[in-house]
Amino acid sequence: MLVIFLALILISWFTPLLQKLGFGKLPGDFRFKLFGREWFIPLTTTILLSVLASLISKLI
């Protein structure tokens, strides 16, 4: 749970760069407004980047 939470925080910080690459607009990435603030929960992007990092680590 802690790793997922940290990954969500890191992805939210890098959201502008990831959106230029096409991430953050995938089905399963949630964006909504609550209490006057826009919230972004990139679940699908997190899973996709985790699989990519896992494949890269197995190759190295």
pLDDT tens profile 2-57:
887 887 788 778 778 877 877 777 888 888 898 999 888 888 888 888 898 899 99
Report field, pTM of the whole predicted structure over 0.75: no
Domain enclosing residue 18, as ranges: 2-59
Number of domains present in the structure of the chain: 1
Alpha carbons 60 and 57: distance in angstroms, whole number: 5
| Predicted local confidence at residue 14, as pLDDT | 78
Token representation of residue 9: 């925080």
Instruction: Compute the distance between CA of residue 5 and CA of residue 58 in angstroms, rounded to an integer.
Output: 23
Q: Which of 36, 37, 40, 44 is nearest to 15 (CA)?
A: 40
- Report pLDDT for 55: 93
